[in-house]
A and B are shown apart, each in its own frame.
Chain A
C-alpha cells in the first residue's frame, strides 16, 4: 500500500464531531437516506432527505446525476450520507454517487439513532435546494455485473457475500465467502476500527492486493457496507455486484448451498 492518498482513505467515514463543525462551516452536503416520515420527525441539521426508495426506483447513472444536481451537489461538493440502518442504505447511495464520478463522499460513522442518543442537535427544517451542475464520469471499475464474477473468480478475485450466515448457508454464489454485515460493525459505529477490520480480513486471507467483489441479497445495501469496509482499510480493487443474489438467481446461474443440515431450526427468531 504505497501509492494512495491517505486522506482519501480516511474520508471513507466521518465522525460526528467533524461533521458538526463542517455543518457549521457550511462546507458539506448531508444526505439523510431514511424514509420521508422519519426524516420529517427530525434529522441532522441541513440534511437533505433522499430515501433509498427514490434512488432504487431508477438507479440509472443519468437519474442519479439528476438527483445530485437537484440537491446542489457539484463535482467539488463534499457529501456525507447517513441512515438508521447500520450504514447499509447510506453506503448504497454513496456508492451510486461514486459510480457517476463523484469523489468526495463519506459515511457518517454512526446511525441517526446514535446521533440522537448522543444528544446532538437535530432539526425539523428542510433546507432550500439550489440546483448545480455535475459532470458524468462513470467509474465502471467499481461495478461488477453477473457475467464478470466467475471469470474474475478464476483469476483469483474473492466473492464476498455480506448477508447473514443462515441466508448464506441456504444458498450463495459458488465459491463465495461469507462476511455477514454485522461482522463489519462495532457496537458503536457502522464500521469497526481499521485495526480490527484488518485483522478480521487477514484471518480470512484477504490482503491489500486482493480483488474483492461484494454482493448481498438484492440491491447492494449490505454489500455496499462491505464495499466501504474494504475501502476503509485501503483495499483498492473492490467492486460491488449491485444487482446481487436476486439477479444471480433470476438468471438461473449455478448456486451452492450447505447441504444435509437443518441450521434454520437453530434460530430462535
Chain B
C-alpha cells in the first residue's frame, strides 16, 4: 500500500529561492567540532573562533547555549524559508524567532550540541549562518523598499545579492581585523548608507552624453562606543568599478586595520587615524591595482531577470472594514512607485515573532504579495511588498487574527531594542523589554497617529555598543548602572537628534535617565516640544534646531531641556520607591553583570 502523503497543494507559480547560501557539510563539520570540544580535544578558544565564523554566539553567562544568526542577504525571505524558521525555533530555540536590525533572523538559547541541526535545517532551504558573526563581512543589507521606492534611481537588490554571493566563503573575507558591514539602499531616506563600513546608493549620471548607472559609495561610517558618519569616496562610482571598490576597501582594511586593540579595530578607526584624504587615496590606488592585477576578469554575477509578478486574485469580500483599519493604513503602509501597489510594514515588539506567527506570515506572503516573498526591514520589522491596494483591508484583517496588526510601524511607536540582558553577554540592562514597554505606551496613547512625531525614532541599546543603533535615533538610549548611596539601579544615557538619512548625524549625549523614568522622560520631551514647536514643525526638526542653539525663547538649547527633565530623572531612595531599583523582567535588585563579549573574538 502506498504511503499516504501529507503535502498540501499550493499555488504552483510561487517563486523559489534563487541562491543556495547554505552547505550541508558545514553543519556536519560543526557537529564534529562540538564533539571534539566536549571530548577536550580542542580548546574553548578554538571552538569559539570556529563557532563565530559559522554564525553562533555564546549566550548570556554561558556558552552551552548559542544565539544563531541566520543571514538574510538583502532581507529577502521566501515562504518555505519562513516556515523553516518557525520549525527550527520550535524544535531548537524558544518558540519565537527574532528579526534583527541588520535583516537577519536570530534564534536564541539553542543548545550548543543542536547548532549543527539548525544549520542542517537552514541548508535544506537555502539559508546559512556562515559569516554572520566573527571577523568577516556580515549580512549584506539592502533597503526593504529597493525596487518599489518612489525615490530610487534604480533597484540595487541584484547588486546586493551578487555582492553577498561574491564574498560569502571568499578567502579574502575570512579573517579581517574585525567585522565588516555593507549596506545598499534605494535612496538617501530609506537606508543607512552613512553609518556602515561601506554604504552604497544608486546614482545615474551623464558621461559623454550618455546616461550611465553607478553609485555613491560611503566609507568608514559605523556605530559603537565611538561612532562616525561615513565619507563619500568620489562623486560617482561607475557600475563596473563597484566590485573593484569593494575588494579594494576590504584589502586595505585587511592590511592596515588594527589587529591589536579590540576597541579600535573597526575600519572607522583606521579612517579616523589616517585621516579621510589619506585613506581615500590609498583606496583609490588599491582599486587601480585590483583592476590591473586580476588574472581573470571578475564581475558581479548579477541576476537582472525581470521579476515575474504573480496574478493575485483574492475574491471574497470583507463584510465590513475591521476596526483600526484606517489607523493601520496610515501608519503601516506606503504606496509603491508602481501604481496600484503598496508595501505593508509589520512592526514586531523588539523584533520578536512566534513560530505560529511566522507560519501565518508565510501564508500571507503567498496570498497577498505579487512577488511571493517578504523582506526583513531595518527596524526589526517585516515588509510585504507588491500588495494590491484593494487587498490591504483583507491583509490587515488576517494580521489582526494572528496578533501582527499593531499600528505605528512607520512611526516613532516602532521602537528598536537590542537583545539586552535577555541573551547578550555584554548587556547591562533589559533594553529588549524596555523597547516593548515604550512601544506599548505609545500605542496606548495613540502617539503613532500624531503627525508631529511621524519621522522621529526611538532606539535602545543595552550597553554602550550600538546593536540597538541608539546614536541614529531622534531619542536614543544606551544602558548602564547608576547608584544612590549603596543602592544600584539600572539607567540609560539618552542621546538626542540622531539621524541616518542624507543629513546623517549622531545623537548628542544629553542626560542620564533611570530605566523606570525612560517613559516619563520621553513623554516630557514630547510635551515640551508641543509647547515650543513652530507651526508645521515636527519633533526631529525641533530637536535639531535646539541642538544647533536656535531654540525658542524658553528652550534655547539642549541644556534647557536637561533642566526641565531634572525632576523627572532624579532618583528616589530605595525606601521611597523600591521598584525604581529593579530592571524590567527582574524581581530582585539590580546588579550590573556582564560576561565576555564575543563580537571581536
Smallest distance from the beta carbon of A119 to chain B beta carbons, Å? 9
Stretch from A161-169, A208-216, A217-225, A247-255 forming part of the interface with B: A161-169
B430 touches A262 (CB 8 A): yes
Q: Select A268's contact among B6, B92, B353, B433, beta carbons within 8 Å.
A: B353
Stretch from B68-76, B111-119, B367-375 forming part of the interface with A: B111-119
Q: Select B62's contact among A180, A188, A258, beta carbons within 8 Å.
A: A258
Smallest distance from the beta carbon of A115 to chain B beta carbons, Å? 9
**Chain A interfacial positions (CB closer than 8 Å to B):** 15-17, 21, 110, 114, 117-118, 120, 164-166, 169, 177-178, 180, 182-183, 185, 187-188, 199-200, 203-205, 258-269
A262 touches B96 (CB 8 A): no
A268–B35 alpha-carbon span in the complex (Å) = 33
A263–B93 alpha-carbon span in the complex (Å) = 11
Note all chain A residues with C-beta closer than 8 A to B98.
266
* Proximity string of chain B (88-114) to chain A, C-beta cutoff 8 Å, 1 when within and 0 when not: 001111111010000000001101011
Q: Which of B192-238 contact A (CB under 8 A)?
A: none
Note all chain A residues with C-beta closer than 8 A to B94.
164-166, 263, 266-267
For this complex, 20 residue pairs linking A to B, each with C-beta atoms less than 8 Å apart, are A17-B2, A118-B4, A120-B4, A164-B94, A165-B94, A203-B116, A203-B117, A204-B111, A260-B593, A262-B584, A263-B109, A265-B432, A265-B584, A265-B585, A266-B98, A267-B96, A267-B354, A268-B348, A269-B95, A269-B96
A63–B275 alpha-carbon span in the complex (Å) = 83
Which B residue's beta carbon lies closest to that of A189?
Answer: B6
A264 touches B38 (CB 8 A): no
Note all chain B residues with C-beta closer than 8 A to A269.
95-96, 354
Smallest distance from the beta carbon of B331 to chain A beta carbons, Å? 20
* Proximity string of chain B (415-427) to chain A, C-beta cutoff 8 Å, 1 when within and 0 when not: 0000111110000
Note all chain B residues with C-beta closer than 8 A to A180.
90-92
Note all chain B residues with C-beta closer than 8 A to A188.
6
B432 touches A262 (CB 8 A): yes
A158–B377 alpha-carbon span in the complex (Å) = 43
Asked if B61 is an interface residue, CB under 8 A from chain A, the answer is yes
A169–B94 alpha-carbon span in the complex (Å) = 10
Asked if B391 is an interface residue, CB under 8 A from chain A, the answer is no
Smallest distance from the beta carbon of A240 to chain B beta carbons, Å? 22
Main secondary structure of the interface of B (DSSP, over half): mixed
Note all chain B residues with C-beta closer than 8 A to A166.
94-95, 109
B6 touches A261 (CB 8 A): no
Which A residue's beta carbon lies closest to that of B351?
Answer: A268
Which 9 A-B pairs have CB atoms at the shortest separation, nearest pair first? Answer: A268-B352, A262-B585, A265-B433, A261-B60, A268-B96, A182-B90, A266-B422, A183-B91, A268-B354
Q: Select A16's contact among B4, B348, B352, B353, beta carbons within 8 Å.
A: B4
Smallest distance from the beta carbon of A166 to chain B beta carbons, Å? 5
Q: Select B3's contact among A17, A164, A187, A266, beta carbons within 8 Å.
A: A17
Asked if B292 is an interface residue, CB under 8 A from chain A, the answer is no
Q: Which of B3-30 contact A (CB under 8 A)?
A: 3-6, 8
Asked if B445 is an interface residue, CB under 8 A from chain A, the answer is no
Which of A16, A199, A263, A268 gathers most chain B CB within 10 Å?
Answer: A268
Smallest distance from the beta carbon of B380 to chain A beta carbons, Å? 11
A269–B355 alpha-carbon span in the complex (Å) = 10
A183 touches B114 (CB 8 A): yes
Which A residue's beta carbon lies closest to that of B98?
Answer: A266
B117 touches A200 (CB 8 A): yes
A120–B6 alpha-carbon span in the complex (Å) = 11
Which A residue's beta carbon lies closest to that of B595?
Answer: A260
Note all chain A residues with C-beta closer than 8 A to B90.
180, 182
A263–B65 alpha-carbon span in the complex (Å) = 12
Note all chain B residues with C-beta closer than 8 A to A260.
60-61, 421, 593
B430 touches A266 (CB 8 A): no
Smallest distance from the beta carbon of B224 to chain A beta carbons, Å? 23
Note all chain A residues with C-beta closer than 8 A to B593.
260
Q: Select A261's contact among B8, B59, B353, B436, beta carbons within 8 Å.
A: B59
Asked if B357 is an interface residue, CB under 8 A from chain A, the answer is yes
Which B residue's beta carbon lies closest to that of A204?
Answer: B113
A259–B587 alpha-carbon span in the complex (Å) = 12
Note all chain B residues with C-beta closer than 8 A to A264.
422, 585
* Extra contacts besides A188-B6, A265-B422 (15): CB < 8 Å: A15-B3, A17-B4, A117-B6, A118-B5, A183-B92, A183-B114, A200-B117, A203-B34, A263-B108, A265-B584, A266-B352, A267-B94, A267-B96, A269-B95, A269-B354
Which A residue's beta carbon lies closest to that of B358?
Answer: A268
Which A residue's beta carbon lies closest to that of B90?
Answer: A182
A187 touches B87 (CB 8 A): yes
Which B residue's beta carbon lies closest to that of A120?
Answer: B4
Note all chain B residues with C-beta closer than 8 A to A262.
420-422, 430, 432-433, 583-586
A263 touches B34 (CB 8 A): no
Note all chain B residues with C-beta closer than 8 A to A268.
96, 348-349, 352-354, 357
B6 touches A118 (CB 8 A): yes
Given A203-B113, A204-B113: A266 in contact with B419 (beta carbons within 8 A): yes
Given A178-B111, A266-B352: A165 in contact with B93 (beta carbons within 8 A): yes
Asked if B397 is an interface residue, CB under 8 A from chain A, the answer is no
Asked if B1 is an interface residue, CB under 8 A from chain A, the answer is yes
A164–B117 alpha-carbon span in the complex (Å) = 17
Note all chain A residues with C-beta closer than 8 A to B34.
203
A263–B420 alpha-carbon span in the complex (Å) = 10
Q: Select A263's contact among B5, B116, B353, B423, beta carbons within 8 Å.
A: B423
Which A residue's beta carbon lies closest to that of B2?
Answer: A17
A150–B31 alpha-carbon span in the complex (Å) = 29
Which A residue's beta carbon lies closest to that of B432?
Answer: A265
Q: Which of B358-383 contact A (CB under 8 A)?
A: none
Which of A17, A120, A258 gathers most chain B CB within 10 Å?
Answer: A258
Given A261-B59, A261-B421, A263-B94: A21 in contact with B1 (beta carbons within 8 A): yes
Q: Which of B326-363 contact A (CB under 8 A)?
A: 348-349, 352-354, 357
Q: Which of B463-506 contact A (CB under 8 A)?
A: none
A261 touches B352 (CB 8 A): no
B117 touches A263 (CB 8 A): no
A99–B108 alpha-carbon span in the complex (Å) = 38
Q: Which of B232-247 contact A (CB under 8 A)?
A: none
Q: Select B114's contact among A21, A117, A203, beta carbons within 8 Å.
A: A203
A266–B5 alpha-carbon span in the complex (Å) = 36
B352 touches A165 (CB 8 A): no
A203–B433 alpha-carbon span in the complex (Å) = 33
Q: Which of B106-161 contact A (CB under 8 A)?
A: 108-109, 111, 113-114, 116-117
Note all chain A residues with C-beta closer than 8 A to B35.
203
Which A residue's beta carbon lies closest to that of B95?
Answer: A164
Note all chain A residues with C-beta closer than 8 A to B3.
15, 17
Which of A118, A262, A263, A267 gathers most chain B CB within 10 Å?
Answer: A262
Q: Which of B567-601 contact A (CB under 8 A)?
A: 583-586, 593
